[in-house]
Amino acid sequence: MTDFATARRHMVDGQVRTADVTDLRILTAMLEIPRERFVPPASVDLAYLDLDLPVGKNGSRRLLKPMVLAKLIHAADIAPVDRVLDVGCTTGYGAAVLARIAGQVVALEQDADLAQAARTALSGQPNVNLVSGALTGGWPQSSPYDAIVLEGATEIPPETFLSQLKQGGRLVCVLGGGPGAKAMLYCRSGDELGGRPIFDATAAVLPGFAKAPIFAF
């Protein structure tokens, strides 16, 4: 029988603190939220490992590594009054962490089974609004947002989210689908979304965020 409380502490101490995540709100949230409730029953013993954990039908989607999720949220510099869009929330773990930090979280998921799992896991969380729709469209109904978190990689620069960010709003994601991918921090300034790499990271590419194939003749 896995001692999940001990596993959570080892995850935070060994994966998150050592990655220069110093925001006590993030550390406390990850120490307290039972990540095992957000993974398939057959995978609960893997819930706190340093890996992108398969979820959904045939493991087609992934929960971000705890370190990558924590560092992305840390880089987004979220204030307690901020409204955050969580794109690709899968089973809701990232949204649960964000809910401890932000004022309001809109958690977007397009997979019906994952959305239902998230709805169940996030039950009783008053500041999370779970919505269903194409991930590439964001959720303009509740925009503008102070911050947007993409819980996965995109091979396409996320310019389409510009209009859903407030002036000075931040967007964090993993850019690139291969070994050379980088975690990115984007900020809105006027009608531009300027970005810079913040650390090396890899993640599964979110549905709809892959580059169109180029055919050579």
**pLDDT single digits (tens) 62-96:** 999 999 999 999 999 999 999 999 999 999 999 99
Give pLDDT, residue 1: 64
Q: 149 in a domain, yes or no?
A: yes
pLDDT digit string, tens, across residues 126-155: 999 999 999 999 999 999 999 999 999 999
Q: 105 in a domain, yes or no?
A: yes
Q: 181 in a domain, yes or no?
A: yes
Please calculate the CA angle 44-122-95 and round it to the nearest 5 degrees: 85
Give pLDDT, residue 53: 93
- What is the count of structural domains for the chain? 1
Six token digits for residue 123: 């039950």
| Closest C-alpha among 91, 31, 98 to residue 69 | 98
Distance (Å, rounded) from C-alpha 161 to C-alpha 191?
Answer: 11
- Asked if residues 145 and 167 have their Cβ atoms less than 8 Å apart, the reply is no
Distance (Å, rounded) from C-alpha 142 to C-alpha 137?
Answer: 12
Give pLDDT, residue 214: 64
**Residues spanned by the domain of 109:** 52-200
pLDDT digit string, tens, across residues 25-53: 999 999 999 999 999 999 999 999 999 99
Give pLDDT, residue 162: 97
Give pLDDT, residue 103: 98
Distance (Å, rounded) from C-alpha 123 to C-alpha 204?
Answer: 27
Q: 64 in a domain, yes or no?
A: yes
* Average pLDDT for 193-212: 94
Confidence of residue 215 (pLDDT cuts 50, 70, 90): low
Q: 186 in a domain, yes or no?
A: yes
Q: What is the pTM of this model?
A: 0.95
Residue type, 130: L
Sheet holding 128-132, edge to edge: 128-132, 104-109, 83-87, 145-154, 165-175, 182-189, 192-200
| Closest C-alpha among 188, 152, 193, 164 to residue 61 | 152
Q: 135 in a domain, yes or no?
A: yes
Distance (Å, rounded) from C-alpha 194 to C-alpha 76?
Answer: 14
Q: 27 in a domain, yes or no?
A: no
Q: What is the CATH number of the domain that holds 117?
A: 3.40.50.150
Checking if the pLDDT of 56 tops 90, the result is no
pLDDT-above-70 percentage for the chain: 97
Give pLDDT, residue 69: 98
Distance (Å, rounded) from C-alpha 68 to C-alpha 64?
Answer: 6
